[in-house]
């Protein structure tokens, strides 16, 4: 890597980039290229770019427009002048009047809103505000082109930032990078259920949803008790919201207690019942010989669950479902979570208020929501592990709070999901195949930023996982960078993984055929994402402490744009250094051992050749 930056900060960042790239250099040059671009949303300009002054492009990435004399109003240092380039994938700003040289490089997918603020000033300057999905707001000032026919670079930006609203395709469909690994093959439902050790005598894989006729937001492969016929499943589907019937997520390898997910029952105000549904829950309970009870975890606050009866929904009555116990987990809906995230953004960006930081943070309720989600998952995991009881988890539609809870409980229960590939399978299964509405919740390429369907549900889940990695630093194979990469690529629209709302839609759009999976990228350079402290214990169940005292704001994610951010993970770095040192020492010791062995061998043969010498014990060092 060329070095041109004269300033320390740039050099240090470059050198750390170098070490990262070097590891895979030679074999996968293109990955390295990609990594330096794809992972970063905003970063210090790489030296090689600044020296040549040109923007490196991804395959199929095309420059759409660029403008000089744009001013970026940096909240940390004030206005910075430079040039702005817009491609079909990214926004690239490079300052020209500053040392050290710095810039912004962000995928357009991260933008949720691009707006002209106010009218032009007397000098013809126009302000643009860019709100981002990753907790930032950016602001630029630019002179309007005098020729009114010519479009401003920001108008071009608006067009490419929201391709879906402009009838264009997302960049993921253009991007044609080839990786050694194929991430679309990470998850095979049948293999996964086999891994879980699904007992054939009590559970079966039903093909009733093969063509998504039973439920268009569910996967094709569904696991149900053997005693329930497909016909009964069809009847149940009309009783469960959106046809999302109770199906198995996970089964305990020893007790056979099951984690089952569903949507709310359509009880309504009249207390409608469905005998097949009741039979199904009974069958789930019977499939586990260890317990004569079943727990139904309704993720919602009980008030919300009751209010849903007005709209035809509701919750299971304990009269209708014998041996079932219903527990409400008090987790709020997507609208409350969106509001909490909005408040959080105000508190963390751009600057942190010194004197009231903690109470400001408290007033966002963000950690409180995180706590409730983790606490709910903990209760589920505890019922399954300690109580050996099967559980059914649902919320309203069973695609937001339900996957949060089931996937967190599964991480606690099954160490496989704490590995890098296991975690990918978990996401593919609980989130993607079971139809978390990523398109709606994130709003990929959609300019309608006020859409009430947007909500940081998946972000909360990743935050919860991060909280667990803090409490158990040696229990997860992946590091923090892995989690941040997932979140960054959730918004970037570079990969196809998080596109669409369901398995059916992804098949229809032929997403796997036309896009690259995020896991292709990740699994082609796993070492980047490995937690060096990881210890694998196969049967270790994690019970995190959910008290607010042990939850902390994920500053390395939410406050990462603040230039005063503290560099993270010195422990990991140091551990890697120690590992290298150990390897070196081991090598050296082995060499010496070999030398000593040779010396001993040769000296003893000498002695053998001189019979006059008395036989003395040979001193060995080993």
Partner 1 sequence: MDIPKAGIPKGESVKQKLTLPPHPDRQLCRPIMETFREIVVNEANFVRKCISAESCQDDLWGKLVCTNFKVSFITHNSLPRQCTHRLLGEHDIPLACVEQVVTVNDVKGKQKILGSNQKLKFNPTELILYCKDFRIIRFRFDEAGPESAKKVCLAIAHYSHPADPQLLFGFEYVGKRYHGSTGERVNGVDPGGGMQTTLFDCSSDWDREIKRTGASEWRVCTINQGYFISPSLPEFFVVPVSLADQDLKQYACFFYSQRIPLWCWNHSSGSALVRMSNISDLQQQRKVEQRISSAITKSHPLRSDVFKSDLDKNLPNIQDIQAALLKLRQICVIDPFEESEEKWLSSLESSRWMEYVRTFLRHAVEVVYMLESRNVPVILLEKEDRDLSCVISCLVQLMCDPHCRSLHGFQGLIQKEWVMAGHRFLDRCNHLKKNDKEESPVFLLFLDCVWQLWNQYPAAFEFTEVYLTVLGDSMWVPIFSTFLFNCPRQRAENSRDFASSKSIHLGQDQALRFPPVWDWSQQFSLKDQTLFNNPLYVGKIATCVQNGTVKTFTHSSTLRGLPSALRNGSLGPNDTLARRNSLVLRLRSDLSQVREQQETPSERFIRDFFSRPVDLQGLLLPQLLPSHLSVWKLYFLRWVPEAQIPQGGPITAFHKLSVLTDEIDMLQNQLRQYKGAGGTPNNLHAEHSKMYFKATSTPHQPPAPPEYLSSSFPFSPVGNLCRPGILGSPLSKFLNGAKIWLSTETLANETI
Q: Which is nearer to partner 1, 119 or 149 (CB)?
A: 119
Smallest separation, CB 99 to partner 1 (Å): 9
**Token reading at 64:** 């759409």
The side-by-side arrangement of strands in the sheet containing 90-95 is 103-107, 90-95, 78-87, 63-74, 137-143, 125-132, 111-117
Smallest separation, CB 132 to partner 1 (Å): 9
Question: In this structure, how many other beta carbons lie within 10 angstroms of the beta carbon of residue 256?
Answer: 19
Residue with tokens 């013809």: 124
For this structure, is 395 an active site residue? yes
- Please state the three-class secondary structure of 2-58 as a single string: CCCCCCHHHHHHHHHHHHHHHCCCCCCHHHHHHHHHHCCCCCCCCHHHHHHCCCCCC
- State which of positions 228-257 bind partner 1 (CB under 8 A): none
Question: In this structure, how many other beta carbons lie within 10 angstroms of the beta carbon of residue 101?
Answer: 22
Smallest separation, CB 249 to partner 1 (Å): 19
The residues with which 83 forms a beta bridge, in sequence order, are 94
Secondary structure (DSSP) of 494-560:
SSSTT-SSSHHHHHHTTHHHHS--HHHHHHTTGGGGB-TT----TTPPP----SGGG----HHHHTT
* By CB under 8 A, residue 79 contacts partner 1: yes
Contact 86, 22 (CB under 8 A): no
**Token reading at 226:** 């053997």
Q: From the list 27, 229, 322, 359, which residue makes contact with partner 1 (rule: CB under 8 A)?
A: 359
Smallest separation, CB 202 to partner 1 (Å): 25
Catalytic position from the list 395, 464, 493, 500: 395
Q: From the list 452, 543, 603, 613, which residue makes contact with partner 1 (rule: CB under 8 A)?
A: 543
Smallest separation, CB 582 to partner 1 (Å): 5
Q: Which is nearer to partner 1, 290 or 556 (CB)?
A: 556
Q: From the list 567, 609, 611, 617, which residue makes contact with partner 1 (rule: CB under 8 A)?
A: 567
* By CB under 8 A, residue 44 contacts partner 1: yes
596, 598, 599, 601: CA torsion to nearest 10: 120
Does an H or E element contain 256, and which?
Answer: none
* Selected range binding partner 1 among 143-151, 186-194, 419-427, 532-540, rule: CB under 8 A: 532-540
- State which of positions 8-37 bind partner 1 (CB under 8 A): 8-9, 12-17, 19-20, 36
Q: Which is nearer to partner 1, 220 or 299 (CB)?
A: 299
Q: Which is nearer to partner 1, 458 or 557 (CB)?
A: 557
Contact 420, 481 (CB under 8 A): no
Q: From the list 207, 211, 582, 613, which residue makes contact with partner 1 (rule: CB under 8 A)?
A: 582
What are the CA-CA distances from residue 540 to residues 382, 385, 476 (Å)?
A: 13, 11, 11
Is 395 among the annotated ligand-binding positions? yes
Residue with tokens 């214990």: 537
Smallest separation, CB 554 to partner 1 (Å): 10
Smallest separation, CB 122 to partner 1 (Å): 10
* Selected range binding partner 1 among 7-15, 48-56, 205-213, 224-232, rule: CB under 8 A: 7-15
Contact 101, 45 (CB under 8 A): yes
Contact 539, 415 (CB under 8 A): yes
* By CB under 8 A, residue 538 contacts partner 1: no
Alpha helix (H) residue ranges in 238-365: 275-286, 302-307, 334-348, 357-364
* By CB under 8 A, residue 618 contacts partner 1: no
Determine the 3-state secondary structure of 217 from DSSP.
Answer: coil
Does an H or E element contain 72, and which?
Answer: strand 63-74
Quick note: the x/- pattern for partner 1 over 385-414, rule CB under 8 A, is -xx---------------------------
Q: Which is nearer to partner 1, 144 or 286 (CB)?
A: 144
* Selected range binding partner 1 among 152-160, 207-215, 216-224, 346-354, rule: CB under 8 A: 346-354
* By CB under 8 A, residue 560 contacts partner 1: yes
Is 323 among the annotated ligand-binding positions? no
* By CB under 8 A, residue 180 contacts partner 1: no
* Selected range binding partner 1 among 264-272, 276-284, 399-407, 535-543, rule: CB under 8 A: 535-543
Is 396 among the annotated ligand-binding positions? yes
Phi/psi at 420 (5° precision): -65, -50
* By CB under 8 A, residue 53 contacts partner 1: no
Beta-strand ranges (E) seen in 118-229 are: 125-132, 137-143, 203-206, 222-225
Quick note: the x/- pattern for partner 1 over 365-384, rule CB under 8 A, is --xx--x---x--xx--xx-
* By CB under 8 A, residue 358 contacts partner 1: yes
**Token reading at 188:** 């095979």
Instruction: Please state the separation of Cα 371 from the chain's center in Å.
Output: 18
Is 398 among the annotated ligand-binding positions? yes
* By CB under 8 A, residue 210 contacts partner 1: no
* By CB under 8 A, residue 41 contacts partner 1: yes
Smallest separation, CB 57 to partner 1 (Å): 18
* By CB under 8 A, residue 475 contacts partner 1: yes
Question: In this structure, how many other beta carbons lie within 10 angstroms of the beta carbon of residue 323?
Answer: 13
Q: Which is nearer to partner 1, 199 or 473 (CB)?
A: 473
How many CA atoms does the CB half-sphere of 277 hold within 13 Å?
27
* By CB under 8 A, residue 100 contacts partner 1: yes
Q: Which is nearer to partner 1, 140 or 179 (CB)?
A: 140
- State which of positions 102-161 bind partner 1 (CB under 8 A): 102-105, 115, 117-119, 121, 125-127, 129-131, 137-139, 141
Smallest separation, CB 32 to partner 1 (Å): 13
Q: Which is nearer to partner 1, 27 or 620 (CB)?
A: 620
Determine the 3-state secondary structure of 349 from DSSP.
Answer: coil
Q: From the list 210, 271, 537, 604, which residue makes contact with partner 1 (rule: CB under 8 A)?
A: 537
Cβ-proximal residues to 26 (8 Å cutoff; 6+ apart), any chain: none
Smallest separation, CB 475 to partner 1 (Å): 8
Beta-strand ranges (E) seen in 344-482 are: 390-394
Q: Which is nearer to partner 1, 59 or 547 (CB)?
A: 547
Mark the binding-site residues, compressed into ranges.
Answer: 308-311, 333-334, 395-401
Q: Which residues are catalytic?
A: 395
Mark the binding-site residues for substrate, compressed into ranges.
Answer: 308-311, 333-334, 395-401
């Amino acid at each position: 890597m060329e070095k041109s930056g004269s300033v320390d900060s740039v050099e240090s960042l470059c050198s750390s980039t170098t070490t990262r790239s070097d590891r895979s250099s030679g074999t996968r040059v293109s990955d390295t290229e990609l990594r330096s671009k794809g992972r970063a949303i905003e970063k210090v300009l790489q030296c090689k770019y600044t020296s040549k002054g040109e923007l490196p492009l991804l395959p199929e990435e095309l420059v759409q427009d660029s403008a000089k004399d744009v001013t970026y109003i940096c909240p940390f240092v004030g206005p910075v002048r430079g040039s702005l380039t817009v491609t079909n994938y990214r926004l690239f700003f490079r300052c020209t009047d500053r040392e050290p040289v710095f810039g912004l490089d962000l995928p357009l997918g991260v933008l949720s809103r691009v707006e002209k603020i106010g009218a032009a000033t007397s000098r013809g300057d126009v302000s643009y505000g860019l709100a981002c999905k990753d907790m930032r707001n950016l602001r630029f000032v630019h002179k309007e082109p005098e020729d009114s026919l010519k479009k401003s670079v920001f108008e071009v930006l608006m067009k490419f930032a929201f391709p879906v609203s402009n009838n264009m395709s997302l960049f993921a469909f253009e991007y044609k990078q080839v990786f050694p690994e194929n991430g679309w093959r990470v998850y095979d439902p049948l293999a996964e259920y086999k891994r879980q050790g699904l007992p054939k005598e009590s559970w079966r894989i039903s093909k009733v949803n093969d063509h998504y006729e039973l439920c268009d937001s569910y996967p094709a492969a569904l696991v149900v008790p053997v005693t329930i016929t497909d016909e009964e499943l069809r009847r149940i589907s009309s009783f469960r919201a959106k046809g999302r019937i109770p199906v198995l997520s996970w089964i305990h390898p020893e007790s056979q207690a099951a984690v089952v997910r569903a949507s709310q029952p359509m009880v309504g105000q009249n207390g409608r019942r469905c005998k097949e549904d009741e039979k199904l829950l009974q069958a789930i309970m019977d499939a586990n010989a260890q317990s004569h009870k079943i727990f139904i975890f309704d993720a919602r606050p009980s008030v919300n669950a009751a209010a849903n009866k007005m709209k035809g929904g509701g919750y299971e009555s304990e009269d209708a479902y014998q041996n079932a116990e219903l527990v409400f987990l008090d987790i709020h809906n997507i609208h409350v979570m969106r509001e909490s995230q909005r408040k959080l953004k105000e508190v963390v960006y751009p600057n942190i208020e010194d004197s009231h930081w903690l109470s400001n943070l408290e007033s966002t309720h963000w950690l409180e929501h995180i706590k409730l989600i983790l606490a709910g998952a903990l209760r589920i995991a505890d019922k399954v592990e300690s109580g050996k009881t099967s559980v059914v988890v649902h919320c309203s539609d069973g695609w937001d709070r339900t996957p949060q809870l089931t996937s967190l409980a599964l991480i606690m229960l099954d160490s496989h999901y704490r590995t890098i590939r296991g975690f990918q399978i978990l996401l593919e299964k609980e989130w993607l195949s079971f139809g978390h509405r990523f398109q709606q919740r994130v709003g990929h390429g959609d300019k309608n930023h006020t859409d009430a369907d947007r909500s940081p549900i998946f972000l909360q889940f990743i935050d919860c996982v991060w909280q667990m990695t803090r409490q158990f630093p040696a229990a997860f194979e992946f590091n923090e960078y892995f989690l941040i990469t997932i979140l960054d690529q959730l918004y970037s629209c570079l990969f196809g993984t998080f596109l669409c709302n369901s398995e059916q839609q992804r098949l229809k759009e032929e997403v796997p055929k036309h896009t690259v999976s995020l896991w292709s990228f990740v699994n082609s350079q796993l070492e980047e994402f490995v937690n060096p402290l990881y210890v694998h214990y196969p049967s270790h169940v994690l019970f995190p402490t959910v008290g607010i005292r042990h939850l902390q704001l994920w500053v390395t994610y939410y406050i990462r744009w603040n230039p005063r951010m503290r560099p993270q993970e010195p422990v990991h770095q140091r551990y890697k250094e120690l590992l290298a040192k150990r390897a070196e020492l081991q090598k050296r010791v082995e060499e010496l051992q070999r030398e000593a062995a040779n010396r001993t061998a040769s000296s003893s043969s000498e002695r053998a050749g001189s019979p006059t010498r008395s036989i003395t014990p040979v001193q060995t060092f080993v």
